[in-house]
Structure 1
Amino acid sequence: MSSGFDLTNEAFAEYCRWLRVKTMDPKTRREIQSMITDSEMIDQRFSSRLAFGTAGLRAPEGAGTNRMNPYTVAAAARGFARWIKANGGADKGIMISYDSRHSSREFAEMTARMAADEGVQVYLSDTLRPVPMLSYGIVKYGAAGGVMITASHNPPEYNGFKAYGADGAQLMPEEAAQVSACIEGLGDIFQIIARSLSLRQLLHNEMIVYVGEELDDSYEQLLMDRLNSSLVHEEAKRDLRIVYTPLNGAGNVPVRRVLESMGFHSVMVVPDQELPDGDFPTLRVPNPEREDTFQLAIEMAERENADIVIATDPDADRLGIALPDDSGEYRVLTGNQIGTLLMEFILGGRAIQGRLKGDEFSVVSVVSTKMPEFICRRYGVELTETLTGSRYTAEAIRQGRSEGKRFVMGFEEGNGYMLDTGILDKDGVAAAAVIAEMSAMSRASGRRLYDQLDSIYSLYSYPAEKRFSVQLKGPDITGTMEAVMNSLRKERPDLGDEIEITRVRDYLPETNMLYYHLGGAEGNDWLAIRPSGTEPKLKVYMGMYGEKEEAEQKLADVYQRVKERIAAVLDSL
């Protein structure tokens, strides 16, 4: 701790401005006053402002210009509302929902208040509801956009503000830049809040209206109409034993409701992870990509002899599963494995029913498994690759539909799945329903769902795939990232005499990623390297395909050589 203040320091000047605000809420005021002798803390909290990007805002909660708090949320909400107005959407309005994180309801109400005071009609969820219901609600109510208060699967101290357009998809970069400009032009947010009408007044004026049961019923019916398969017998659904965990998030009610309506009556919920709790007390982080997230659910599944374990993250846009293998041990599947199972099940089911007409397409992120290439080729379905992020999947879906094609499904390796429901964001609720049906069909045929992966690999190719991160340290993380990427651009990694880099794709300026096509099974082997957008890490993805032993050995060789190359660059800095 230090008290050596520089009175000309911009961070200290901004801190003093916050300290002088008479209308500051008590919680924020106490936090600001508590750091009055801590110059390092003041510099951390006030030296920069949260940047509004394609994912909106996301940061730890707390007082300061680069933290999530009522004032940074109010500024984002006001700027977003002005963007909505500028595009003629004030009367159409916006839809707002939130998840189980600390302050999520408070931030949702502040967002509603700022937008309504700006003259934008607001449809506010009367309780926490997940991302897919927010995305669906935008379209259902004919709104011009929406906001989801969530930090997805980040640690408990985080929260966020995620913005959507009129079709229920997250904003694209040019739209986010326009919103950011509106935020920059606001002026003093404290004065704006002080002059604004209260939530109660805006509810009375019906500029804010609550939405609830009608949305639940409509969303449930949508999934029943689009996803309930006639290929799965009711008895098989009834007998399937499911352990489900919402990870103390917003998926609990909608997932259980949809599963019950579809005929899955043996759904058991992990007690300690059932109810909303922003502390996520039994979890390191509430992320269904992580194996340790499943500990309590697997313990319950072992006691109950469950056929499948399903988990959704706090805003229920992502989903993970664990399945018993031949020995009865539960295995947590990767996002790629789940996506592979889903794509084969959905396309195979449509083929059996004669529903593939030759104008279908699927979407997958560029750093996901290449198994969809094999599957789509077999069924005559076009496959589109995009950058990672549901906004890019949504853009590809819009483009495909404009060309008269029919969307089937899309996914990214980070456990995000989009199905043929019309919803343009990841939907863990819908994915849970389809995975349950897939598991019931497998069980009815006398097979474990886990075994279906081997059948798929035997039919197509074995995927040896891996992703890993390289943690970066030092005062200039951005500079370090750039140095590594620039070195790789100047000189390709040496992957040994047996592995040839046949082509390099550089994704600048869209994103800072290098993608290497490698010699291998029909040219499908690959390697990709990019900096993380949210953490001080370099992310590396790779996939090798063919016979299992050969593919695994190739993967091990590439992994070791890439690790050594990145380490050498870091050592040279």
Structure 2
Amino acid sequence: MDYNKKYLEWLNNEFFDEITREELKSIENDKEEIEDRFYKELAFGTAGLRGKIGAGTNRMNKYIISTTTQGLAEVIKKRGKEAMARGVAIAYDVRHYSDEFAKTAALVLAQNGIKAYLFEGIRPTPELSYTIRKLNAISGIVVTASHNPKDYNGYKVYWEEGSQILSDIANEITDEIGDIKNYSDVKIMDEKEALDKELLEIIGKDIDDDYIEMVRNLSLRNEVDKNIKIVYTPLNGTGNVPVRRVLREQEFNNIFVVPEQENPDPDFTTVGYPNPEDLNSFEYAIKLGQEKNADLLIATDPDCDRVRCMVKNGDGNYEALNGNQIGAILINYILEAREEQNSIPNNGAIVKSIVTGDLGKVIAKSYNVETVDTLTGFKNICGKANEFERTNEYDFIFGYEESIGYTYGTEVRDKDAVSASMLLCEAAAYYKTKNKTLLDILESIFSEYGYYSEKLFSLVLEGIEGQERIQRMMKEYRVGYLKDIKGSNLVKFIDFLDESVLDIKTGDKEPIDIPKQNAMKFILDDESWYAIRPSGTEPKIKIYIYSKGKSLEEAESKIENIEEAVMGKLNSIE
């Protein structure tokens, strides 16, 4: 069916509510908008759904939520009455329609005889992961678009371990969604009926209390400077209540919250793009930090699974730490403390993504802790924690990726900015007792292990043509990759689509034990490397560059050389 036919079907079908049809009526003369909304179905995968809010098959709306949830319900029903009774935990963030989408999902499940545990209000994504395990639920849903702009929303599915689904469950759900012929075939139970039949249960305070206690139990040291001055911004998201509560109960005395970004705001009026990876999001925090003479600034994204920080330097200005640097500092702090406590397991491991830097790995190695690489995304990182639990191969300690996501311990099987914020503040407060800042600690790490530098950048290519060009770039670079870059020679080519690693010198190719993904990694003879992959949630191709040098200047020079060469090659592919 072509996109215009689909558009007319939605426009003229009285099953769709009047608001939806009025919205579609308003674009009747905009061919490009109609095409973008209806040229495809919003794809469901291991990352769930994510897209712009609006009417249409390629948009986030209650009809897409209904059919997706029906697909999940069919998968659960196939697992029997016990799975249905275990139920599904559902959380949501501050975005437009998040509460409506979450309730729609709950009532679709109820209509299918599956119990739904729905949070009474906004909650951070990591609490949803914790809740699945706490309630022994079969699955979980969180309605969020994480750090995307205000006109986006999303829907992520979790399985019984508390981690996001992998391809096996995602494919089952996709198949079931494909069997739904009409949106009107999906039924929704009345809310009162669902409550009366105990197929809907509203949850809140008791789970909150348990989650906060669990986070506090992750604390490693109490003998720290509790008077350290910290500015916190939740960026108008879900982190405000849990992060402040944890820090308060840990007796930090000087926590200052950015007032303009304290309360929920689905329009993110003060920040626009609510992603702590973008340093523009720290504008208000820096201003308050200077006013309060704060030692540390921390920011969490809207669903509070990512965190970044800035640290006051010797000049009184604030310097940002990136995701790899924060990960290295946390690994250093955790393992340093646990070595003192003699509590590092004999088979301990950290897990990182294939596009995360190697500094954390060399720190872990110095404590005889293994590092395991996996594909990008915490579904894969915490998938390893699940695997370790089944096989006893390793004892999972810490997982992280360069995109400012971290998890410590195994109670939460997703990135957790609540616990990571607490540990960052605790580390800063501990090192302050030694008259050191986190910047000083990073410099000492560099001095010991080498100077690591990095750069991540993206080519944004929107629409159908953009997606097609991204695929051409990946295809053509895969066969025409660079063999040398300004004095550095390629030694290994890892093709995650082919699941192989090629030794450039010998020509030998060996398999790798990492699931298939459309990504490439190129390792040079000076320990520098770069990786290329399409984003799984946004219309962009991502390029990750890492280098190691005897000085920061040398490492940064290598980054520039790689960027120039790789971008020249990619831009030549039309």
Whether TM exceeds 0.5 here: the answer is: yes
User: Which residue type is aligned with residue 86 of structure 1?
Assistant: K
Distance 1:356 1:537, change over 3 A: same
1:90-105 pair list within 5 angstroms: 90-105=84-99
User: Which residue type is aligned with residue 469 of structure 1?
Assistant: S
Please state whether the residue corresponding to 1:388 is helix, strand or coil. Answer: coil
Distance 1:207 1:264, change over 3 A: same
1:110-259 pair list within 5 angstroms: 110-193=104-187, 196-225=188-217, 227-229=218-220, 231-233=221-223, 236-237=225-226, 239-259=227-247
Deviations along 1:55-93, whole A, 9 cap, x unmatched? 111000001111011111111111111111112321110
Q: For residue 522 of structure 2, what is the aligned residue in structure 1?
A: 516
1:28-427 pair list within 5 angstroms: 28-88=20-80, 89-193=83-187, 196-225=188-217, 227-229=218-220, 231-233=221-223, 236-237=225-226, 239-404=227-392, 405-427=394-416
Please state whether the residue corresponding to 1:51 is helix, strand or coil. Answer: coil
User: Which residue type is aligned with residue 106 of structure 1?
Assistant: E
Deviations along 1:135-188, whole A, 9 cap, x unmatched? 110111110001000000000000011000011110101211110111111232
Q: TM-score, normalised by structure 1?
A: 0.93
Query: Structure 2 CA distance, aligned partners of 1:186 and 1:461?
Result: 56
Q: For residue 564 of structure 1, what is the aligned residue in structure 2?
A: 568
Please state whether the residue corresponding to 2:213 is helix, strand or coil. Answer: helix
Query: Structure 2 CA distance, aligned partners of 1:329 and 1:27?
Result: 50
Quick one: percent identity of the two aligned structures?
38
User: Which residue type is aligned with residue 228 of structure 1?
Assistant: S
Q: Which of residues 456, 463, 467 is equivalent to 2:452?
A: 463
Please state whether the residue corresponding to 1:544 is helix, strand or coil. Answer: strand
Query: Structure 2 CA distance, aligned partners of 1:160 and 1:386?
Result: 24
- Equivalent pair of 1:249/1:315 in contact (CA under 8 Å): yes
Query: Structure 1 CA distance, aligned partners of 2:477 and 2:245?
Result: 50
User: Which residue type is aligned with residue 418 of structure 1?
Assistant: T
- Equivalent pair of 2:67/2:186 in contact (CA under 8 Å): no
Offset of residue 331 of structure 1: 1.3
Offset of residue 473 of structure 1: 7.0
User: Which residue type is aligned with residue 557 of structure 1?
Assistant: N
User: Which residue type is aligned with residue 343 of structure 2?
Assistant: R
Deviations along 1:488-545, whole A, 9 cap, x unmatched? 222331434520111111010511111111112xxx3211112223334321111111
User: Which residue type is aligned with residue 96 of structure 1?
Assistant: I
- Equivalent pair of 1:366/1:385 in contact (CA under 8 Å): yes
Query: Structure 1 CA distance, aligned partners of 2:569 and 2:25?
Result: 48
Deviations along 1:312-368, whole A, 9 cap, x unmatched? 111101111111111111112111111111010001111111112321110011111
Distance 1:490 1:197, change over 3 A: closer
Offset of residue 551 of structure 1: 2.1
Please state whether the residue corresponding to 2:308 is helix, strand or coil. Answer: strand
Distance 1:557 1:10, change over 3 A: closer
Q: For residue 527 of structure 1, what is the aligned residue in structure 2?
A: 530
Distance 1:278 1:107, change over 3 A: same
Please state whether the residue corresponding to 1:411 is helix, strand or coil. Answer: strand
Please state whether the residue corresponding to 1:559 is helix, strand or coil. Answer: helix
Query: Structure 2 CA distance, aligned partners of 1:334 and 1:255?
Result: 20
- Equivalent pair of 2:161/2:386 in contact (CA under 8 Å): no
| 23-32 or 197-206, larger mean C-alpha shift | 23-32
Query: Structure 2 CA distance, aligned partners of 1:205 and 1:472?
Result: 48
Query: Structure 2 CA distance, aligned partners of 1:60 and 1:529?
Result: 25
Query: Structure 1 CA distance, aligned partners of 2:562 and 2:126?
Result: 38
Offset of residue 475 of structure 1: 5.4
Query: Structure 2 CA distance, aligned partners of 1:297 and 1:497?
Result: 40
- Equivalent pair of 1:366/1:387 in contact (CA under 8 Å): yes
Query: Structure 2 CA distance, aligned partners of 1:258 and 1:334?
Result: 23
Offset of residue 398 of structure 1: 1.8
Q: TM-score, normalised by structure 2?
A: 0.93
Q: For residue 448 of structure 1, what is the aligned residue in structure 2?
A: 437
| 415-424 or 293-302, larger mean C-alpha shift | 415-424
Unaligned runs of 5+ in 2: 499-515
| 26-35 or 541-550, larger mean C-alpha shift | 26-35
Query: Structure 1 CA distance, aligned partners of 2:116 and 2:70?
Result: 13
| 200-209 or 291-300, larger mean C-alpha shift | 200-209
- Equivalent pair of 1:232/1:440 in contact (CA under 8 Å): no
Q: For residue 511 of structure 2, what is the aligned residue in structure 1?
A: none
Residue 25 of structure 2 is aligned to residue 19 of structure 1? no
Offset of residue 306 of structure 1: 0.9
Deviations along 1:273-317, whole A, 9 cap, x unmatched? 111110000112110111101000111011001111111111101
| 267-276 or 31-40, larger mean C-alpha shift | 31-40
| 411-420 or 25-34, larger mean C-alpha shift | 25-34
- Equivalent pair of 1:472/1:537 in contact (CA under 8 Å): yes
Deviations along 1:237-288, whole A, 9 cap, x unmatched? 2x01111111111111111111111111221111111111100001121101
Cα RMSD for the two superposed structures:
1.6
- Equivalent pair of 2:70/2:186 in contact (CA under 8 Å): no
Query: Structure 2 CA distance, aligned partners of 1:485 and 1:64?
Result: 29
- Equivalent pair of 1:461/1:546 in contact (CA under 8 Å): yes
Distance 1:497 1:434, change over 3 A: closer
